[in-house]
Amino acid sequence: MRQALQVHELNFDLALQRDGEAMLHAIEAIDAGDAECPDLVLLDLNLPKCSGAALLERLRTGRLCARVPVIVVTSSDAPKDREAVAHLGANAY
């Protein structure tokens, strides 16, 4: 992901989380005021240790980042997956 974005030489900060558990800790740090809310989240639906859908739900119920745009990135083209994340508040799939 980092390489794909850097090809366009955009000025941005990128924080990558290695799995769903790490992303959950990042969300908790944001809610505790120990980290800043991102401007955009690219979320893999099939993360190990915590699903992307569960993370999206947690993000949307958080205090500080409930409105951050979330783009779900996945190899799934199943309509049920698209509908589920749309219901949880994903901005794009």
pLDDT band at 1 (very low <50, low <70, confident <90, very high): low
Read off the pLDDT of residues 14-67 as tens digits, 9 standing for 90 and up. 788 999 999 999 999 999 999 999 999 999 999 999 999 999 999 999 888 899
Domain boundaries, the chain: 2-88
The b-or-e profile of 1-37 (16+ CB within 10 A means b, else e) is eeeeeeeeeeeeeeeebeebeebbebbeebbeeebeb
pLDDT of 78 over the 80 cut: yes
Q: Domain 2-88 - what CATH class?
A: alpha beta
Amino acid 29: pLDDT: 94
Q: Where residue 72 falls among pLDDT bands split at 50, 70, 90? A: very high
